[in-house]
Chains A and B, each alone.
Chain A
């Protein structure tokens, strides 16, 4: 199977990771041919997940399509790269019903347009108008500081750093006092 994939899809990037997992990297334009060939000829009929990894330094996303063989004993990870600028790729909804929700999730989190999926509406984030949050340039802390307000907390709310410093000093003083008391008692015995 692996040599056929290498020959037919002009890729040398085939890696057997475990007995039950292999990874193939293909050009995005051959991705769906490969997925359909694996389903038709080798029984990889279940789409288990679609994941995306943001390699901002290389200016691309890596999409991973996880397929499971019909006997459920083997997984195939098919990967393709797409550009980060206006990212788009064809939808798998026509072949796999569950791709609908998986693509909707990735659309919301990375802003990827899955061409052919007509239900890329909001999922978890209501009225979100900012950078899709799982893109690397989205800074959670900065977003929180700019958009949310912190509650004052309880009246007896303590500064953690100050309190830790106070406790350390207290512990040190107790240790020294115990040491001193021990020395004094040994002096009395002598």
Chain B
């Protein structure tokens, strides 16, 4: 220390290369990281505690706020857990609409990733394009749900509002735009020589650690493992849909980028199937008013595949109109601590933002 070879710096919490409010304490020799320690606590809002003091339906309105870039997996997990405990059935049309919302949400979240990942190496034009394209999906959400980011739409028992007239045509129009646009992203970002040079061989994950250590999403699929909740433990109507689980063998930042890019194609393909097959019918099951909505003394565990990997909820009822316990398990807790702290050792300082973006870490969901 005395010869000033070691320095300690904080990367974040206010830093463009941090995906939200968290910081990484880095011990460096020159540009090389010797030790990395993740620090959170900048946005602990106590959602899990708040949920326990509200009625079930009151709790529904806040769960979407747990993850800003991708709120809908929270809504669907909450709804599925409540429905399972309360024994509610959901209509076919509501199930299709839910699946459509989740795939649109996945596409929007991948745009946000594209923006962050390209920005992390200074390719800002890609980021601007991706944010503008994400806005097209947010326009659809605004029309359907009334909210651009937080939708509060996937209600226990169904969905809150039916599709507006001509909505599916407008979804198709946006998808057609994306089909053209994604080829341009390939040209300016995925096949960009500087991105390849920066991303290949960086942030490499050992395939053998992936499953055992609880890593999920593109981290696992980037190591060649076909892990996806939509296929492994299908929910909604994913067992009736035709889609592929893209994988890559590299295990590095570039492999994860290729997986994400291929997943955008798959989301479009899924959405087109949903548009073609959208059934008619009711969108909501009759449920008790919020003061009389009670959950039995029982518990469950539900999981969905978010744009960043497996996203799960534990929920326990106690016979009252309050939820006794709800725990959120997103991909970020393990990725930001178990994985990131190890992975950064030996990496260069300039690669921290690049690696962090590739793991899909969302700090709000760590602190809940």
Contact = CB atoms under 8 A, between A and B. Distances in A.
A101 B331 CA distance: 13
A123 B233 contact: no
B232 A73 contact: yes
Contact of B232 (A72, A101, A133, A140): A72
Chain B interface helix/strand/loop/mixed: mixed
Contacts, number: 94
A105 B337 CA distance: 12
Contacts of A46: 211-214
B329 A48 contact: yes
Interface residues of B, number: 36
Interface in A56-94: 64, 66, 70-75, 77
Contact of A47 (B214, B300, B366): B214
B333 interface: yes
A47 B213 CA distance: 7
Given A21-B301, A134-B49, A140-B50, A101 B338 contact: yes
A49 interface: yes
Contacts of A17: 300
Interface in B32-86: 40-41, 44, 46, 48-50, 52-53, 84
Interface of B: 40-41, 44, 46, 48-50, 52-53, 84, 211-214, 227, 229, 232-233, 299-301, 303, 310, 312, 314, 316, 324-325, 327, 329, 333-334, 337-338, 366-367
18 contacts: A21-B300, A46-B213, A48-B214, A48-B312, A49-B327, A51-B327, A52-B325, A53-B316, A54-B325, A55-B324, A64-B299, A64-B301, A75-B303, A98-B213, A101-B334, A109-B48, A122-B41, A123-B41
Interface of A: 17-18, 20-21, 23, 45-49, 51-55, 64, 66, 70-75, 77, 96-98, 100-102, 105, 109, 122-126, 133-134, 136, 138, 140
